[in-house]
Structure 1
Amino acid sequence: MAHLPTLTPITSSWMHELMDATGVLNQLLEKHGSPINIHQTDVMDENYESYHRVFEEAGLKHKIFFARKANKTRGVVQKAHSLGMGIDTASYQEYSQCLEMGIPGSDLIVTAAVKNRGLIEKAVRNGSLLVLDNEDECIQVQEIAKEEGKRANIAFRVSGFLIRETKLYSRFGFDIETLSTFVDDNFSESGRFDQLTYKGLHFHLNGYSIEERSIALSQCLALSKQLSQKGFQTEFIDIGGGILMNYLKYETEWDNFSLQLRRAISNKIDPITFDNQGFGLQVFGGALLGELKTYPFWNYLSKGDFLRKILAHKSSSGDTLAQQTKNLGIEIRMEPGRSMLDQVGLTAAKVAFRKKDSRGDWLVGLEMNMTQMLSGSADFMLDPFVIYQSDDEEEQSAEVYFTGAYCLERDVLLKRKITLKKLPQVGDLVIFVNTAGYMMHFFESSAHLFPLAKNLIWNRLTENGRIDSAHFQNDENL
């Protein structure tokens, strides 16, 4: 049996405490069904501090907003708010629920890609900032603000940054080259949008390039100077999210996986992925083409270090972006989602069956479906943990694919073939760690009338140190 590449995840002590409590996990799955998502929000303290420290070191005014779209639970929102964070909302439902939880409108921003009338009305009434993407949104916010007899606080989302003489495309935002003229025509001269109060600039870039974010911030600083000359003071620049985090213990494993994947899709070794998928790589005419389209699960620069690198970028004047921002008296805002949830959650599911397919591969079916752990990139690249309920079967390693409950050939939960110390039995548990950021909820669906997974919040503060199922609260009841 050839040795498959491993990808060992970074884990927290709470995850291992829980995985050692097999009886409690069985009780929780019996009560709530499979799969369940378990959150331990204390870890968010350090994730927040990793950013806060960088801003404090630089002496910058700042505000950090949690990107709620990364996870839908009330528990993580409550924790973020308790840390002094604002909340970035992307829908009417997200925004309304935050208000219901007692979070003031001044701590909420609205960045929704589509803002319906109900969302705009509520945001205007509660004094929340609306990040506007286009002229039609300006028109609608103006109309609603006039009806409500209020001024609306707004920022402009900006795109079209010039990176190495190439315009960086995004379907979101105003083109940075035309925004100044738009402000002239519609704010300075005509007063067409006289109910809108300009507060700042916002961008959110696809991908994870430090260089692109640095250049975007630099160009927004230049734009803020132009707007200042027209009488529009930029109070803040929001650099969005997409701040890298690191999932893996070992860089060597990530490098080895990349190498073995290339060998496999070039037919030099047996496949290491389902259907020999290349995750963006493919062989054409004997040549290996494309690029890996997964999240970069190994990163040596993550979270605060990533932010520090952006702020340390120097312009042609020799000043860093941090110095330029400070000199202009501008606040830096950001909206981390995934990285604020690093080490916060895991997903547990029951084994439903084992079988060999017509290729001779072991398929281990789980009581969950692919949308309950679906990445926005090509796949989720962490080795799971298996909790065996008994030691009856002889230990003989097995290579398996984990499959889900949807009636689709492509419902393969991890497209990588995984080596286990032995084949799981029906009723054993599979634990996918560090899934809180975007993996649990972003694409979750309920086809076949399958219920959505229950989300539990674990309070680890126990009197005797023992874990009890009573310490896990259904997030719906918070």
Structure 2
Amino acid sequence: MAVSETPWPTLPVLPDPATDAVLASGLVEELSYAFGGPFHFLLPDAFDANLAALRTVMAEADVDGFVYFAKKANKAAVWIERCAASGAGVDVASVGELREALGHGVRGEHLVVTGPAKSGELLRLAVRHGALIAVDALDELDTLITTALTGAVRPARLLLRCLPPAQPHSRFGMNDAELSTAMDRCARAGEAVRMEGFSFHLSGYAVQPRADLAADLVALCLKARAVGLEAGRISIGGGLAVSYTDADSWHTFLSEQRSGHYHAGKSFGADDFYPYHSPAAGAEALRALLGTRPEGHSRSLAELLREAGVTLLMEPGRMLLDRAGASVFRVQGVKERDGYQLLTVDGTSLSLSEQWFNSEYLPDPQLLPRHADAPAGTWPAAIGAATCLESDMLTWRKIPFQRQPRPGDLLVYPNTAGYQMDSNESPFHDLALPPKVVIDRTERPRPRWRLDRHFS
């Protein structure tokens, strides 16, 4: 029976005509039938548009910059193919990711290798292919210098990663004393290394702390040049927020949600969620960053970069994947509970990875009824996985669907390309990993698709 008395919180996503066109075409039903299970579809045109928007902001600010896609955000090969075609870079942190990027056409000098305590094999490959290496510790620097001095055909290109003063317990980066020692070792290594600048890993999405730390790195570049190092680039990492919904919907959701709105009385605090709305999101977050005056400075970050002749590097992941794909599951079973339904779908929460953070992926999934006669009303339902684990829930929240969910219906989770699709995927219960389908741009009446070409 439909339930209408309770005000069930919702979180509608921002308009996305490209995704709507795919859903309207009927293609997702055919693909679900063909694959016999859940799948993800990818929209590479959105990736291209997001990359172009970042480049436009830098050009308008007259800032020299370069964008690396953070590959960890999504394993699909199509994003690497787009980087290769557009001359963008890729941020990798393993031998496998480096090989994948090279294999799909990205030039070695357009790779940046991040991550802590890199293996010797990864360092050797990075030096051999001319990749930029973000050095996280003094022992890693020593290993890199030794690698460069023993048979390398080119100098090792590197950035020194700084420990953020505001996050002193971060496990990434070097403190001031270590940075001073590192610069001295780079200077003494001579032509074996090219110390190109500095980087940082900063948690969170606040603009001012990122601008402050970026200004500190500009000053470090000037200090490093005084001892003969190249030091002409800084990397600010990622941290460009994505807005999935509008401000009113987000604040209303946070004010209304409570444990009774979740299966099994699950409860979340506002700080447990990703900020699904941000006043400055995407390329506008970069615009805000460049226009911010770092603490202790009278000029904007963009002005400081221009005056010092420093190139701005960034490694966005989620931001480049905004509206670049969705995940599709089929309802296998419907169980009645006290005032709501419990749906079971043909996949697992391992393919919707927000649960990895003990959180909830909040954007409302869209129900595509299998039959047009599905009863209308308000049908709250939580969504569980086809596994034997109580905690394996795709959505703890009771979503107020406007049609009665029934077996055979499809559920489409919107805007999942950034970190949701495959960060946590596993063939648990010997279930196949959901395939990724690339929707290619076409002028035909219906979308064209192909399977992604990820090597593994």
Asked if 2 retains the 8 angstrom alpha-carbon contact of 1:239 and 1:332, the reply is: yes
Looking at structure 2, the residues matched to 476 and 90 of structure 1 have their Cα atoms a distance apart, in angstroms, of 20
Aligned twin of 1:397:
378
Aligned twin of 2:332:
352
Residue identity in the other structure for 1:424: P
Aligned twin of 2:253:
257
Aligned twin of 1:435:
416
Question: Are 2:372 and 1:372 equivalent residues in the alignment?
Answer: no
Residue identity in the other structure for 2:288: K
CA deviation after TM superposition for structure 1 residue 462, in Å: 4.2
Question: Are 2:19 and 1:20 equivalent residues in the alignment?
Answer: no
**How many pairs does the alignment contain?**
447
Q: 2:157 aligns with which of 153, 158, 171?
A: 153
1:219-230 matches, within 5 Å, as: 219-230=216-227
The more displaced of 345-354 and 390-399 is: 390-399
Q: 1:32 to 1:116 in 2, by over 3 A?
A: farther
**SS of 1:417 mapped into structure 2:** strand
CA deviation after TM superposition for structure 1 residue 81, in Å: 2.6
Aligned twin of 2:273:
294
Aligned twin of 2:308:
328
The more displaced of 387-396 and 400-409 is: 387-396
Q: Compute the TM-score of the two structures, normalised by the length of structure 2.
A: 0.93
Residue identity in the other structure for 1:349: F
**SS of 1:363 mapped into structure 2:** strand
**SS of 2:127 mapped into structure 1:** helix
Aligned twin of 2:186:
187
Asked if 2 retains the 8 angstrom alpha-carbon contact of 1:11 and 1:433, the reply is: no
Residue identity in the other structure for 1:122: L
- CA offset digits 1:138-188 (Å, max 9, x no partner): 122223223333321111111132x4xxx543111111454123322x234
Looking at structure 2, the residues matched to 362 and 340 of structure 1 have their Cα atoms a distance apart, in angstroms, of 36
- CA offset digits 1:404-445 (Å, max 9, x no partner): 122211111012210011321111100001000100011111
Aligned twin of 2:114:
111
Looking at structure 1, the residues matched to 36 and 201 of structure 2 have their Cα atoms a distance apart, in angstroms, of 37
Q: Which runs of 5+ in 1 are unaligned?
A: 266-270, 282-290
Aligned twin of 2:401:
420
Question: Are 2:450 and 1:473 equivalent residues in the alignment?
Answer: yes
CA deviation after TM superposition for structure 1 residue 313, in Å: 2.1
Residue identity in the other structure for 1:97: E
Q: 1:176 to 1:58 in 2, by over 3 A?
A: farther
Residue identity in the other structure for 1:172: F
- CA offset digits 1:62-112 (Å, max 9, x no partner): 111111111111111111332221111121111101111222101111113
CA deviation after TM superposition for structure 1 residue 210, in Å: 0.8
CA deviation after TM superposition for structure 1 residue 335, in Å: 0.8
Residue identity in the other structure for 1:187: C
Looking at structure 1, the residues matched to 297 and 403 of structure 2 have their Cα atoms a distance apart, in angstroms, of 61
- CA offset digits 1:5-56 (Å, max 9, x no partner): 111102422211221233x322212222321010111112321122112211
Looking at structure 1, the residues matched to 325 and 186 of structure 2 have their Cα atoms a distance apart, in angstroms, of 46
Aligned twin of 2:436:
455
Aligned twin of 1:231:
228
Looking at structure 2, the residues matched to 393 and 325 of structure 1 have their Cα atoms a distance apart, in angstroms, of 58
Q: 1:362 aligns with which of 341, 344, 350?
A: 341
Question: Are 2:173 and 1:173 equivalent residues in the alignment?
Answer: yes
Question: Are 2:396 and 1:407 equivalent residues in the alignment?
Answer: no
Asked if 1 retains the 8 angstrom alpha-carbon contact of 2:42 and 2:436, the reply is: yes
Question: Are 2:60 and 1:57 equivalent residues in the alignment?
Answer: yes
Q: Which runs of 5+ in 2 are unaligned?
A: none
Q: 1:176 to 1:450 in 2, by over 3 A?
A: farther
Asked if 2 retains the 8 angstrom alpha-carbon contact of 1:142 and 1:194, the reply is: no
Q: 1:199 aligns with which of 196, 207, 227?
A: 196
RMSD: 1.9
Residue identity in the other structure for 2:183: V
Residue identity in the other structure for 2:231: T
Residue identity in the other structure for 2:79: V
Looking at structure 2, the residues matched to 379 and 177 of structure 1 have their Cα atoms a distance apart, in angstroms, of 40
Residue identity in the other structure for 1:422: R
Q: Compute the TM-score of the two structures, normalised by the length of structure 1.
A: 0.89
Question: Are 2:263 and 1:274 equivalent residues in the alignment?
Answer: yes
Aligned twin of 1:287:
none
**SS of 1:389 mapped into structure 2:** coil
Residue identity in the other structure for 2:11: L
Asked if 2 retains the 8 angstrom alpha-carbon contact of 1:372 and 1:444, the reply is: yes
Asked if 1 retains the 8 angstrom alpha-carbon contact of 2:41 and 2:436, the reply is: yes
Asked if 1 retains the 8 angstrom alpha-carbon contact of 2:194 and 2:229, the reply is: no
Looking at structure 1, the residues matched to 164 and 190 of structure 2 have their Cα atoms a distance apart, in angstroms, of 23
Looking at structure 2, the residues matched to 251 and 363 of structure 1 have their Cα atoms a distance apart, in angstroms, of 29
Aligned twin of 1:309:
288
CA deviation after TM superposition for structure 1 residue 295, in Å: 0.8
Question: Are 2:367 and 1:386 equivalent residues in the alignment?
Answer: yes
Asked if 2 retains the 8 angstrom alpha-carbon contact of 1:208 and 1:242, the reply is: yes
Question: Are 2:87 and 1:84 equivalent residues in the alignment?
Answer: yes
CA deviation after TM superposition for structure 1 residue 120, in Å: 1.6
Q: 1:393 to 1:178 in 2, by over 3 A?
A: closer
**SS of 1:292 mapped into structure 2:** helix
Looking at structure 1, the residues matched to 152 and 380 of structure 2 have their Cα atoms a distance apart, in angstroms, of 65
Looking at structure 1, the residues matched to 330 and 314 of structure 2 have their Cα atoms a distance apart, in angstroms, of 38
Looking at structure 1, the residues matched to 307 and 73 of structure 2 have their Cα atoms a distance apart, in angstroms, of 33
- CA offset digits 1:110-144 (Å, max 9, x no partner): 11334222222211111111111112211222232
